[in-house]
Structure 1
């Protein structure tokens, strides 16, 4: 007889979630202490820095954040003068978001800290293991999307 009991510590989706939360909490405390940014705010700044003129809908899709979190972060960043909204060129019902000069300066200060945190977290692992892990994460994303589509 096969043991069908669920043990959370052996359940990969649980381990992945706990690990992700731990990494996010570590990063969030650093961004908050140094720059006064929440994780959603930092994600918006990073996505906009990579894809200036994107929309909140595309940011939500790319980051897998819910629309309310994206909207709140966008409002907070706009109030701080870090982003601005403009009418979208091809869809007048939508707005594109852009970093302001202050937003670009903040990104330039935060990005090296993000890379340093990443380096510190992963310095214990061989480059080949990191490459395999990264590839596997992408495969898990693809498999999860496929399962979601199957219903």
Structure 2
């Protein structure tokens, strides 16, 4: 197994995943300890904050999470009194999700903390490394989009 880990340490996709997992764990520890929120709940709050009321379908599209996860997190955050869901007046099959008063206050704190947390993370990097990371992450995202397009074109 040691050999495999050694090989993985020099494999860029693994390096990206490993770095993302380390950031996610630190991020989740911070928000779990301070607000009792998981990363998916935090993501949901950040999408909802400036955009509510919003349908569950729109939440799936905006957050990148699947509909089952969205549904679970809506339920959990509703139990905490942070969100509420109600049927749309135009289409009773559509559930619109919005923040409660408590949720709005929490969102304001989360928004402020997100900026602070980002600065704390990047303060340990030299300024040129920060710019380089942003640029390289954009390049990786663009390359992945191109790969997805190629995959879709090659599917029957």
Q: What do residues 13-58 of structure 1 show as CA deviations (whole Å, max 9, x unaligned)?
A: 1111111111111111111111111111111011101322223223
> Number of residues paired by the alignment?
146
Structure 2 Cα separation of the partners of residues 10 and 62 of structure 1? 33
TM-score (norm 1): 0.83
Tell me the equivalent position of 1:110.
110
Moved more, 110-119 or 16-25: 110-119
Query: Which of 1 and 2 has higher RCO (CA within 8 Å, sep 6+)?
Result: 1
Tell me the equivalent position of 2:154.
none
Tell me the equivalent position of 2:53.
53
Structure 2 Cα separation of the partners of residues 142 and 94 of structure 1? 33
Tell me the equivalent position of 1:136.
136
Please report how far the alpha carbon of residue 133 of structure 1 lies from its aligned counterpart in structure 2 after TM superposition. 2.1
CA-atom RMSD in angstroms: 2.2
Structure 2, unmatched stretches of 5+, are 1-5, 152-156
Tell me the equivalent position of 2:32.
32
In structure 2, the CA distance between the partners of 1:32 and 1:134, relative to structure 1 (3 Å rule), is: same
In structure 2, the CA distance between the partners of 1:122 and 1:74, relative to structure 1 (3 Å rule), is: same
Q: What do residues 48-107 of structure 1 show as CA deviations (whole Å, max 9, x unaligned)?
A: 013222232232233322222221111101111111123346654322211111001111
Q: Does 1:99 align with 2:105?
A: no
Tell me the equivalent position of 1:18.
18
Structure 1 Cα separation of the partners of residues 140 and 19 of structure 2? 15
Structure 1 counterpart SS, 2:85 = strand
In structure 2, the CA distance between the partners of 1:43 and 1:94, relative to structure 1 (3 Å rule), is: same
Tell me the equivalent position of 2:65.
65
